[in-house]
Amino acid sequence: MPSDTALLVIDVQESFRHRPYFREDEVAAFIERQQALIDGAQARGMPVVRIFHVEDEGVFSEASGFVTTLAPLRIHPTVTFRKRRHSALVGSGLDVWLTEHGIRRVIVSGIRTEQCCETTTRHASDLGYTVDYVGEATLTFPMTDVTGREWSAAEIRARTELVLADRFARIATVEQALGAGLDKAA
């Protein structure tokens, strides 16, 4: 029986290494958790959906050569989509693919925690999908607000999980997200 759950791996791409805000300090931990999620999903027969963000110019353009999987992550996706908006469900064809494949639950992971991952989570929830948001398999970078306060990546992740929890998604660890998928497949 095919899985009704798909793993979304959003914007895990080399383009980010070429942005001025990129910091390497949390990448190794992110890659370890993201890889565990990908490997676990594949072992359970869940489709792994890779999504790249693309733009006409700059480091997110196809011509840049940076719209490739962030090293050293290993992924053999079931399907790849390209998006031009924050939500992976806008204009990419992902929504049609999910419907055609009977997907009712999505697991959200990727880069950036508070942008494309959060936006896709909210959108998927509003469309009626059950959503597991795996914050430990998301990556973001410190940001400075209008008052000059720098918010750490950990603070941004905590804030994102706070506003999504029990409204738009279940906040899950890698193991919890994979276990829920296994329970539904059994």
Residue 116 contacts residue 139 (beta carbons within 8 Å): no
Tell me, rounded to whole angstroms, the distance of Cα 88 from its chain centroid.
9
| Number of neighbours of residue 84 by Cβ within 10 angstroms | 12
pLDDT, tens only, 22-58: 999 999 999 999 999 999 999 999 999 999 999 999 9
184, pLDDT greater than 50: no
CA distance 19 to 78: 28
CA proximity to 60, closest of 100, 11, 121: 11
Residue 92 is classified by DSSP as: S
pLDDT, residue 183, reads 44
pLDDT, residue 185, reads 41
Burial of 126 (C-beta count, 10 Å sphere; 0-12/13-18/19+): exposed
Domain total of the chain: 1
R_g over Cα of the chain = 16
Locate 12 and state its tokens: 């895990």
Domain that holds residue 120: 5-183
CATH number at residue 143: 3.40.50.850
pLDDT, tens only, 78-107: 999 999 999 999 999 999 999 999 999 999
Helices (H), the chain: 27-43, 94-100, 118-126, 153-164, 174-185
